[in-house]
Amino acid sequence: MTVKASTKKFGIGALKALFAGAMSVTVSRGPKAALVDLRESPPGSAGFAEAVLGPTGNLRAPTARIGNGNWMVGFGEESWAEALK
């Protein structure tokens, strides 16, 4: 699925549907990255929303599904290099 982020907005209300079926999300903010286990912090929770939404309230960029159940949100060079090995 390809989405043009400048025209399609994903806010807190869309997170549950967007991440349905996902097992984990790696959230990067510069050199810092955190793995979020969606069984412990589901997409509808405030903590998850705070991690994946940027200051505008939209989904942080870049965002991509890697494999069958894992997602990458935000940019961190090391975490993306590891995920794309």
pLDDT tens across 8-42, in order?
A: 777 777 888 889 889 999 999 888 999 999 888 78
Q: Which pLDDT belongs to residue 3?
A: 60
pLDDT in tens, 48-82: 888 898 888 888 889 899 888 899 999 999 998 88
> pTM of the prediction?
0.82
Q: Which pLDDT belongs to residue 1?
A: 56
Helix, strand, coil: what percent of the chain each, to 5? Answer: 25, 25, 50
Cβ–Cβ < 8 Å for 70, 84: no
Beta pairing, strands 24-29 & 70-73: parallel
